[in-house]
Amino acid sequence: MTATDTAVPAENRVDTPLAGPTLGGPTLPQERRLVTSIPGPRSQELVDRKAAAVAAGVGHTAPVHAVAAGGGVIVDADGNSLIDLGSGIAVTTIGNAHPKVVAAVQEQVAQFTHTCFMIAPYESYVAVAEALNRITPGDHAKKSALFNSGAEAVENAVKIARKFTGKQAVVAFDHGYHGRTNLTMALTAKSMPYKSGFGPFASEIYRAPLSYPFRDRLDGVMAAKKAISVIEKQVGADNLAAVIIEPIQGEGGFIVPADGFLPAIAEWCRANGVVFIADEIQTGFARTGEMFASEVFGVVPDLITTAKGIAGGLPLAAVTGRAEIMDAAHAGGLGGTYGGNPIACAAALAAIDVFENDGMIERAREIGVILTERLGALQAADPRIGDVRGHGAMIAAEFVDPATGEPDASLTAAVAKACIAQGVIVLTCGTYGNVIRFLPPLSIPDDLLHEGLDVVAAALAAA
């Protein structure tokens, strides 16, 4: 294949309707603007090309192709401006194309793009590790290692815990999501779409029941007793290297465990020589109104995995934790060609600066108040919303059949689809597919967030 074979033919090229300095970032007009139906003709053309060229297993939520994004909007190939209530799955928490990230990336990309940190190291990787060691929960000595994706961070946290403990078993929880690689599929609870047909899965993975107050009606202490009993009877601490849990389940439905559940699990791990891993890939970096969700529950994990929000949209992930655990792996045992790429590290340093110094935690809390009030008012008037839950700018509504309390996935899908057709990108989640999750960028203006929620309310009323 020659270069011209892969070039976009002129007739298929998408010219952005916005040129020059207003191309992306926070300078984009902060408005919902529909100039065509969704999808418009250019997006439809790209959706068709995608169907022909991209493997069918790679799905998409909104049938629009993006040309620019920033603040609280995504602009599509037809010039529609959609309200973004998903942040590309909790990634662009500080806002898309944040100016500090753009500047840091531009500076770094002109210096060098790659040396491989395992060949010729560079300062920005070390500085990201230092920052993560500083801002993650707990004031014990910590170390970090950087990777490319969340799944890769989870894989490495498990490697490190096994090497440190000399044990093999790992416990994950009902409704847990940890990624799409072989080990992380095994850790993930939900078969369809994440696992179905992709086995066999990694061995020595066990599953414990989660605290899910809306459905199990147990307090945190009782739910933890139940989980610990399963772990002790079915696995045994002598065989168990690690317990991995999302402090608030992401893909599983924004399930907030009852008070006391996480501290009891963490305490049991500490007492039994088991590494407690908090998967904060979705909950991390100010999203929940704390820098990390573990702080919401007062737990200090031994290891913490991060990714998604870490670098303002560039691919980067990390494992951070107790120095003695992190140092258990022999030299050369951890790493990867691209892990801690210098451009991603430059972006992460800029993003972490924004998280720490530009009021992101406060902003997440403000957004949480708006989301909770608006969705709570909807719930009060509509019994099809069974539960509204979450923390900070990570809030979800669970949809049920009011007569039976059974999950209502078709209502959920209909509401989400109607929102997207009206120019508001919302994401669904949940083991039963009956949860709409709200993960707006913290850069979204209040009026746009309210307008997005107005559209959700109208879609629900019409469904």
Ligand X SMILES: *Cc1c(COP(=O)(O)O)cnc(C)c1O
Binding site for ligand X (CB under 6 A): 149-151, 154, 177-179, 246, 250, 279, 281-282, 307-308
Residue pair 189/176 in contact (Cβ under 8 Å)? The answer is yes
Give the Cα separation of 329 and 335 in Å (integer).
Answer: 11
Distance in Å, CB of 283 to ligand X, minimum: 7
Give least dist CB 392 to ligand X, A. Answer: 16
| Cα separation values, 441 from 30, 286, 309, Å | 13, 11, 10
Q: For residues 151 and 420, which CB has a smaller minimum distance to ligand X in the complex?
A: 151
Residue 245 beta carbon to ligand X: minimum distance, rounded to whole angstroms:
10
Please report the beta strands in 73-155, taking only residues with DSSP state E, as ranges in sequence order.
Answer: 73-76, 81-84, 142-147
**Length in residues, the chain:** 463
CB of 281 to ligand X, least distance (A): 4
Nearest to 229 by CA among 301, 297, 177, 171: 171
User: Cβ closer to ligand X: 55 or 120?
Assistant: 55
Q: Closer CB to ligand X, residue 207 or residue 374? A: 207
Sort strands 81-84 and 73-76 into parallel, antiparallel or unpaired: antiparallel
Of 94 and 314, nearer to ligand X (C-beta) is 314
CA-CA distance, 371 to 390, in Å (whole number)?
10
Residue 347 C-alpha from the chain's centroid: 17
C-alpha neighbours within 13 Å on the C-beta side of residue 18? 20
- Pairing assessment for the beta strands 73-76 and 427-429 based on DSSP bridges: unpaired
Residue 365's contacts (CB-CB under 8 Å, 6 or more residues apart) are 289, 392
CB of 249 to ligand X, least distance (A): 8
- Alpha helix locations (H) across 136-253? 150-165, 182-187, 213-216, 220-234
Least Å distance between CB 277 and ligand X?
Answer: 11
Per the CB < 8 A criterion, the answer to whether 265 and 271 are in contact is no
Q: Which residue, 70 or 150, has its beta carbon nearer to ligand X?
A: 150
Q: Which is nearer to ligand X, 255 or 459 (CB)?
A: 255
Residue 208 Cβ, how far from ligand X at the closest point, in Å? 16
- Residues with Cβ within 8 Å of 181's Cβ and at least 6 positions away in sequence, in order, are 151, 152, 155
Helix (H) or strand (E) holding 276: strand 275-279
- 433: which residues sit within 8 A by CB, 6+ positions away? 407, 409, 412, 413
In angstroms, give the least distance from the CB of 6 to ligand X: 26
Minimum distance, C-beta of residue 318 to ligand X, in the bound complex (Å): 11
Q: Which is nearer to ligand X, 250 or 407 (CB)?
A: 250
Looking at beta carbons, which residue is closest to ligand X? 150
